[in-house]
Structure 1
């Protein structure tokens, strides 16, 4: 377990260093048998240590000291719905979240693997940390690897932390590329 928690902390620091998470926003979890390890609430994602990571069973019971992320319900709902998911990253990365606040969709570019849908799936806004968000997100991500949360952020899921971290980086780069394209296409030539 200690190696898994160390890896989770490393991924959190990477997300911060790559500017995908800042301040006290975002959360990361991994499945460990019949419980999860998740980042704490109201604590910056960078600079965490092993004692900060909170263990929670599948019934939302906290097994260690500390308070889990306010999005623990969403993480648990996804793990219960998806046996193939062993890691989840939820961020408010700037470009991806910018799209989540706009009416524009993020195109699925090459690099996402098999492209089943032309755009990243999204759900309507629900209060962060709410049961409604947990339910709607877990249902919408049932056949997806990335999900935009309207006016909120993004969720990435996968088999392990490496896969999910790569996905979080790739979705942000895709959003950034599309944002630049929108800007460049809106520039008019001076005559």
Structure 2
């Protein structure tokens, strides 16, 4: 894709990403420059730029990258989110994935910060939600028993992305709506941006309920 092709990416798509960032900032889920959002556009991915304040982000704070290797297309001057590699893992493994949201929603982040998840690299853990009515909103095959993976928060994002990619490769799309990263936040995927946001809301609500019911003994 060259600079002329960038004009084929609708301005409305860039604004939709920016609007969602501002919306989640308003809910306290993307404070400061935290969090990132992406949508698929053909063989490319439009993602929020690195270091942009989510409360004032606009469509100029989005970057079009190659869905395969994350490289910027000609004409893009902003640096893409530092967590682009994690987003690309979803697009690579789930062909129906049209959007990814990573947020620092408080209850999801709090749950993923419990001491039981500080495992010094001992693999993927899980949070389980059993017989929770709200889990039906995730649209999974078995909402009666939802397992959300919790990944090690490696300093190198590409190492996290490799772990995520390996997990998704072995997990059917209808079994996984999102994931947690220890002490770092929540990531969800969806057919489109609204679907990914709905799943984000459901995961955050499930984490809130779990902490209210079980506190630090969450299973």
1:150 deviation in Å? 2.1
2:152 equivalent in structure 1: 125
8 Å CA contact 1:99–1:106 kept in 2: the answer is no
Find the partner of 2:140 among 114, 118, 134: 114
1:81, 1:114 → 2: CA distance? 17
Instruction: Tell me the residue number matched to 1:70.
Output: 82
Q: 176, 182, 203: which is aligned to 1:150? A: 182
Answering whether residue 66 of structure 2 is matched by residue 34 of structure 1, we say no
Alignment correspondent of 2:4: none
- How many residue pairs are counted as aligned between the two chains? 184
Partners of 2:201 and 2:150 lie apart in 1 by: 21
Alignment gaps of 5+ in structure 2: 1-9, 118-126
2:71 corresponding residue in structure 1: 61
Cα deviation, 1:134-189, whole Å, max 9, x if unaligned, reads 11112324431111112321110010001111111121122112222235x9xxxx
Hey, what does 1:15 align to over in structure 2? 24
Q: Distance in 1 between matches of 2:147 and 2:179?
A: 6
RMSD after superposition:
2.1
How far 1:127 moved relative to its partner?
Answer: 2.2
CA distance in 2, matches of 1:71, 1:13: 19
SS in 2 for 1:5: helix
TM-score, normalised relative to structure 1: 0.87
SS at match of 1:107: strand
